[in-house]
Amino acid sequence: LDILINNAGVLSPPFDVTEDNFESHVGINYLGHFYLTQLLTDLLVNSKARVITVSSESHKRSDITSDHLTGDIPKLFHPPADRSFPLDYDRYNLSNRARIYFIRELVKRHPQLSGVSVHPGIVHTDLFRSVTGLPRFFAACFSPFLKGPDVGAETSIFCATAELGEANGGNFKDCRLAKLPDGAIDPVIQKRLWDVTMALCERVKPE
């Protein structure tokens, strides 16, 4: 296995939690990628593979704090008590920040691997299919001006095949390394997020 591209994602799905009772955005967009990659780690390491995780610039609108990572089941993975589109969007943003942390910690812990996170741009896909109300209206209005899926895939394909060098673990946009906002990455949070996610993966692992 030479290349793994983690691309699955949801926005405001019609269900609050996954089958394992994790908040749907974080459970699918982040935990699902993390768990799949862990299941494939031996194969990936043996082939010195490249791992690409699709994220979004929306991560800039949220921040994972130590409070999100406390509790037997950390708060980041809890469904919100009040479900609405703004709250959904916040969870979507958090899941994208988590994906950036994930790829950075992955290549740190497994130096045999290379990998980056990618912002593909706003792409005309089915991501907005479950969104309702004004957000759905605006999505429909702007859809003719969005990137097509083929263009949206360009940065992922570029990062899957390009020499990364010192950009390993970085975040890419438009086939170029993108600078993260100052203070966006907290090494303590990055490590803690990895540790609590590994613990959750152990819980859901089949016997």
Using the Cα atoms of residue 122, residue 124, residue 130 and residue 135 in order, give the sign of their dihedral: positive
Residue-level pLDDT at 30: 96
In this structure, how many other beta carbons lie within 10 angstroms of the beta carbon of residue 159? Answer: 27
Provide the token pair at 164.
């990364």
pLDDT in tens, 84-133: 545 567 888 899 999 999 999 999 999 999 999 999 766 556 666 666 66
Task: Using the Cα atoms of residue 117, residue 120, residue 160 and residue 158 in order, give the sign of their dihedral.
Answer: negative
Across residues 6-15, what is the average pLDDT? Answer: 79
- pLDDT, position 153: 86
Task: Supply the pLDDT for residue 8.
Answer: 83
Place of tokens 């296995």: 1
Name the residues annotated as catalytic: 89
Amino acid 57: pLDDT: 79
In tens, the pLDDT along 140-158 reads 666 665 666 777 789 999 9
Q: What is the pLDDT of residues 166-195, one digit of tens each?
A: 999 999 999 999 988 888 899 999 999 999
The answer to whether residue 135 scores a pLDDT higher than 70 is no
Give the pTM: 0.86
Residue 204: pLDDT band (50, 70, 90) is confident
Q: Which of 18-22, 28-32, 133-137 has the highest mean pLDDT?
A: 28-32
